[in-house]
Amino acid sequence: GENVEQHPSTLSVQEGDSAVIKCTYSDSASNYFPWYKQELGKRPQLIIDIRSNVGEKKDQRIAVTLNKTAKHFSLHITETQPEDSAVYFCAASTSGTYKYIFGTGTRLKVLA
C-alpha cells in the first residue's frame, strides 16, 4: 500500500547548525508534499509545502527539495534556533484522494 518513510526519528543539532529530515514516498502519482511542525502538546502546523511541478522551495530559514525520480523529498532548516525544537512530520498526497499519508515524525532537538 501507499507508504511514507521518514528519517531520522530523532535528530539533535547545535544551535546555529543545519538540520535535514528526509522522506521517501511509494506512490509515484503523489504530487503534493507538506511539512508540519508539532510542538509538545500542540496542534501540527503547516510550515512549508511543495508541489510536484517544482524541485525546491524556500521560506526564510526553511527549504524543501523534491526529487520525483527517486521519490524523495527533504526538509532543510538552516541556522537552527531553540524554538525550532519540535516534532516534524512529512506527508504525501495525490490530487483527488483527499487524504495524506504521513511519515512517522522526526523529533528535532536544538541544543543551546
31 binds another protein (CB under 8 A): yes
Pairwise CA distance, residues 47 & 60, whole Å: 11
**Strand-pair category, 10-14 with 106-111:** parallel
- Residues 90-111 as b/e (b if ≥16 CB within 10 A, e otherwise) read bbbbbeeeeebbbbebbebebe
88 binds another protein (CB under 8 A): no
65 binds another protein (CB under 8 A): no
Pairwise CA distance, residues 107 & 110, whole Å: 10
42 binds another protein (CB under 8 A): yes
CB of 76 to another protein, least distance (A): 18
Between 6 and 25, how does the x/- string for binding to another protein read (CB under 8 A)? x-------------------
Grid coordinates belonging to 65: 527539495
Binding site for another protein (CB under 8 A): 6, 31-32, 34, 36, 42-46, 49, 51, 89, 93-95, 98-100, 102-105
